[in-house]
């Protein structure tokens, strides 16, 4: 049996990142279903910008693939790919269409408590973006903060103002909601 090369490890890491993202696609697909009560999800413009950066990275990856750049050079070459105005318009349109498709299932909220964000930075060692996102979740009054960031999950274990869950947990919760008889509805904390 041969040892995996660095390239093989990077390729596995790259595709594992897409696999980790799969529950997020499942979650958004489920939120689009008519049985899902709305509004269920609060987001912020900062979170939308993070989505835009992921879509931009996907555009760059497709362009590297289209140019037949060997995978071993992708990390080095991704910064050489300059997105055109048409690419940027397509990214923007993709996000707008996605949000329109979600309809009332996603509410945008950009208000957060500055003191809470500062506390998350100083007491819990959150980076600024994460602190703003979590403070926005707390300000929204929603009980769950969904993230795949295990580092952030560890940091917030002692933070009692919001429950931090993985995307798959949210998907599982919605699946169980969809399979319940229509006469019962889950509590907001489920």
pLDDT in tens, 154-170: 998 888 888 888 888 87
Residue 54 has pLDDT above 80, yes or no: no
Sorted by where each starts, the structural domains of the chain and their CATH numbers stand as 6-178 (3.40.50)
Instruction: Report the range of poorest mean pLDDT among 35-39, 53-57, 117-121.
Output: 35-39
Which tops the pLDDT comparison, 177 or 133?
133
Closest CA to 128 of 149, 114, 146, 108: 114
pLDDT bucket at 178, cuts 50 / 70 / 90: low
Tell me which residue of 174, 39, 49, 170 sits closest to 107, measured CA to CA.
39
Q: How confident is the model at residue 179 (pLDDT cuts 50, 70, 90)?
A: low
pLDDT 10s digits, 103-142: 666 777 888 989 999 999 999 999 999 999 999 989 888 7
Helices vs. strands in the chain: H and E counts, helices first: 8, 4
Neighbours of 150 (CB within 10 A): 10
- State if pTM tops 0.85: no
């Amino acid at each position: 049996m041969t040892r995996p090369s660095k390239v093989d490890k990077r390729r596995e890491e790259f595709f594992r990142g897409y696999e980790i993202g799969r529950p997020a696609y499942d979650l958004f697909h489920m939120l689009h279903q008519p049985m899902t009560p709305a509004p269920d999800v609060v987001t912020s413009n900062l979170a939308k910008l993070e989505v835009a950066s992921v879509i931009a990275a996907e555009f760059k990856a497709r362009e590297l693939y289209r140019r037949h750049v060997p995978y071993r050079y992708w990390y080095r070459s991704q910064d050489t790919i300059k997105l055109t105005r048409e690419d940027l318009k397509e990214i923007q349109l993709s996000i707008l269409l996605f949000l329109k498709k979600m309809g009332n299932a996603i509410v945008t909220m950009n208000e957060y408590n500055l003191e809470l964000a500062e506390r998350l930075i100083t007491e819990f060692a959150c980076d600024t973006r994460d602190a703003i996102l979590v403070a926005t979740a707390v300000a929204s009054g929603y009980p769950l903060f969904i993230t795949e960031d295990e580092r952030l999950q560890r940091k917030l274990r002692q933070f009692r103002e919001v429950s931090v869950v993985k995307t798959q947990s949210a998907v599982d919760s919605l699946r169980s909601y969809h399979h319940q008889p229509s006469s019962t509805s889950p509590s907001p904390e489920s």
